């Protein structure tokens, strides 16, 4: 089966990674405006680089959790694509081979002049004076507020063609995500085969209900929820 898994911060929380933004608009005690916007970059490049260097160093000490590993295991039986809002590399390290990052990747840097110039830096720091091939300062390969997400067209394509859509640990507060996930083959928009849609989260938002009918909600943490999903998937395949 063609399975698309759409993941947010909730899938990495069990590995010890804090959510991108909490209720007071900060990330690791920094204002989002200072470290996650183009204006913040213009104002203080060194602060921004130091912030992401610290996140990168933290990531080097964090391991994929059971949910990441279970999703990777699904590739043994199914055609699985991960679409993630997360900037960590835990899906890849768990063994998933087809991962589309919407908001960039911590382990990469990009040109501040040409965002198509992207470089793998691993867990090493990026410093003032590190430049791209065009001579421009390298910046984090992270999509900031006000910037267009990566891999949008590819994500739409796989969602519109999938047999099963699994959503894990996301608030869906960013408007484009509901439009994208709403493109799944549902009773609302398809006369052909309808995809099965599952949503794993302890407190899932119901914002998708007006776009997609018959969402199956699994109100659990990522690992427990993925285990339950796999049990239901095996029953679905066996029908």
Is 103 designated active site? yes
* 89 neighbors 11 (Cβ within 8 angstroms): no
Closest CA to 185 of 177, 195, 199: 195
In DSSP terms, 65 is beta-bridged to none
- Length of the chain in residues, anyone? 239
Q: Which one of 91, 101, 103, 141 is the catalytic residue?
A: 103
Q: Which 8-state DSSP code applies to residue 14?
A: G
CA distance 137 to 121: 14
Report residue 87 as tokens.
């900037």
CA distance 191 to 197: 16
Closest CA to 40 of 121, 135, 147: 147
Q: Which 8-state DSSP code applies to residue 170?
A: -
CA distance 54 to 124: 10
Which residues are catalytically annotated? 103
């Amino acid at each position: 089966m063609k399975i698309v898994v759409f993941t947010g911060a909730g899938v990495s929380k069990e590995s010890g990674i804090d959510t991108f933004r909490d209720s007071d608009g900060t990330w690791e005690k920094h204002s989002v405006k200072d470290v996650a916007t183009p204006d913040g970059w213009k104002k203080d490049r060194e602060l921004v680089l130091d912030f992401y260097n610290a996140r990168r160093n933290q990531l080097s000490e964090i391991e994929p959790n059971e949910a990441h590993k279970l999703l990777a295991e699904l590739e043994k039986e199914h055609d699985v694509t991960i679409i993630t809002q997360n900037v960590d590399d835990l899906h890849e390290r768990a063994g998933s081979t087809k991962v589309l990052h919407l908001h960039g990747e911590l382990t990469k840097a990009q040109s501040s002049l040409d965002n198509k110039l992207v470089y793998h830096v691993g867990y090493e720091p990026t410093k003032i004076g590190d430049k791209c091939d065009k001579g421009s300062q390298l910046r984090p390969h992270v999509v900031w507020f006000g910037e267009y997400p990566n891999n949008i067209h590819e994500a739409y394509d796989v969602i519109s063609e999938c047999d099963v859509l699994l959503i894990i640990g996301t608030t869906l507060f960013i408007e484009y995500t509901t439009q994208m996930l709403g493109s799944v083959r549902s009773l609302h928009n398809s006369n052909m085969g309808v995809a099965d849609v599952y949503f794993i989260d302890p407190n899932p938002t119901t914002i998708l209900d007006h776009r997609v009918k018959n969402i199956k909600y699994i109100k659990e943490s990522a690992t427990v929820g993925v285990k339950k999903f796999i049990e239901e998937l095996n029953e679905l395949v066996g029908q």
